[in-house]
Amino acid sequence: MKTLRKHSHWLMPLISIVIVALFLFPLYWLVATSFKTEAEIFSTPQTWFPQEWQFKSYTEQLTGSSFDIAAGFRNSLFIAIGSLLISTLLSIPAAYGIARFQFPGRHSFILVFLVTQMLPASLLLTPLFILFKTIGLIGPSYWSTILANATAGIPFSVIFLRTYFATLPKELEESAKIDGCNTFTTFIRIMLPIAIPGVVVAMVFSFLFAWGDLIYGMTFIGKESLRPITAGIYNFLGFQSTSWNNTMAFGTVSMLPVALLFIFVQRYIVSGLTNGAVKG
């Protein structure tokens, strides 16, 4: 133990770098493979860097020769933002109520949200399809996919925000009530602005749930031109062969909005995750 403590100043950063490299390696392989030719992808021994750089796989994405990527981005953006708004608007008051108020069945509500979060999408697919078909949402519309993804995002947002609201000091609410604020005004003017970092984290993950969705978009949206960008991956999967460089290029391009999102809101994500982890 003394030896580990003595060398911890350089050992821990080294271990962290190795772990980060392991997690980022699939991302590197995705980008590197997108620039390789088909012959180099299947060459032996495998090359770590593209020996012959090709950009045809990217130009095909932009020209829309195989898939209208602009329409895919637009569809995914509509679905992700719609799911984000519904999930956020419903999960914030639910999480605050569970965190701050004592009522019968409170722990049962938390358990239900936890169980719902663990359910796979394939298990919810059939009942959701029957429900949406009954109310007429199956077809050329985003609404069925938006509601399905919001349903998947709400449990995580409620569980996360409940923990975040629980870390906020109750003295703030007591001071606001002394100043004449009721419960609703205290929540809107005092507690919600303080919880913005946690709300941003919940919004980001709700956006990611919807952006990466494939099964709901393929099942509930009947019109191909309205399907999300993830559905475009099927254009490169053939019966006898797969165009791997085009597939990897498509994955790289579709991943860019998510990467940019994390770059712009990383300050809120770090703050929200660290503050929300203080108290369970």
The string of pLDDT tens digits covering residues 90-146 is 999 888 888 888 778 777 877 887 787 777 777 888 888 888 888 888 877 888 889
Who contacts 279 (Cβ-Cβ below 8 Å, separation ≥6)?
Answer: 163, 166, 167
- Per-residue pLDDT at 252 exceeds 90: no
What confidence score (pLDDT) does residue 219 get? 84
Angle in degrees, CA 156, 190, 277, rounded to 5: 35
Residue 1 lies in a domain: no
Residue 255 lies in a domain: yes
Residue 41 lies in a domain: no
What confidence score (pLDDT) does residue 262 get? 76
What confidence score (pLDDT) does residue 231 get? 78
The Cα–Cα gap between 154 and 149 comes to: 9
Residue 13 lies in a domain: no
Query: Which of 89 and 175 is assigned the larger pLDDT?
Result: 89
CA distances from 253 to 48, 141, 201, 240, 258 (A): 21, 25, 23, 25, 10
The Cα–Cα gap between 41 and 167 comes to: 51
Among 158, 114, 154, 166, which residue's Cα sits nearest to residue 280? 166
Residue 48 lies in a domain: no
Mean pLDDT of the chain: 79
Give me the torsion for CA of 259, 77, 233, 141, rounded to 10°.
Answer: 160
Burial of residue 37 (number of CB atoms within 10 Å: 0-12, 13-18, 19+): middle
Instruction: Give strand pairing partners of 221.
Output: 139
What confidence score (pLDDT) does residue 4 get? 54
Note the Cα 238 to chain centre separation in Å: 28
Among 151, 229, 162, which residue's Cα sits nearest to residue 195? 162
Who contacts 109 (Cβ-Cβ below 8 Å, separation ≥6)?
Answer: 98
Residue 131 domain boundaries? 66-276
Number of domains the chain contains: 1
For the beta carbon of residue 217, count every other beta carbon within 10 angstroms. 24
The phi and psi torsions of 121 (rounded to 5 degrees) equal: -65, -35
- Per-residue pLDDT at 1 exceeds 60: no
Residue 121 lies in a domain: yes
Structure tokens of 266?
């990383």
Among 260, 244, 208, 235, which residue's Cα sits nearest to residue 76? 208
For 242, the 3-state DSSP assignment is strand
Residue 21 lies in a domain: no
CA distances from 117 to 99, 101, 203 (A): 18, 22, 16
- The domain that holds 260 is classified in CATH as 1.10.3720.10
The string of pLDDT tens digits covering residues 60-87 is 777 665 667 778 888 888 999 999 999 9
Handedness of CA 17, 18, 23, 24 (dihedral sign): positive
Angle in degrees, CA 115, 269, 255, rounded to 5: 85
The Cα–Cα gap between 122 and 217 comes to: 13
Where residue 139 falls (left for φ over 0; alpha for ψ -120 to 50; beta otherwise) is left
What confidence score (pLDDT) does residue 53 get? 82
Residue 181 lies in a domain: yes
Global confidence as pTM: 0.79
The string of pLDDT tens digits covering residues 167-222 is 878 777 778 777 777 878 888 888 888 888 888 888 888 888 888 888 888 888 87
For 62, the 3-state DSSP assignment is helix
Instruction: Give strand pairing partners of 242.
Output: 237
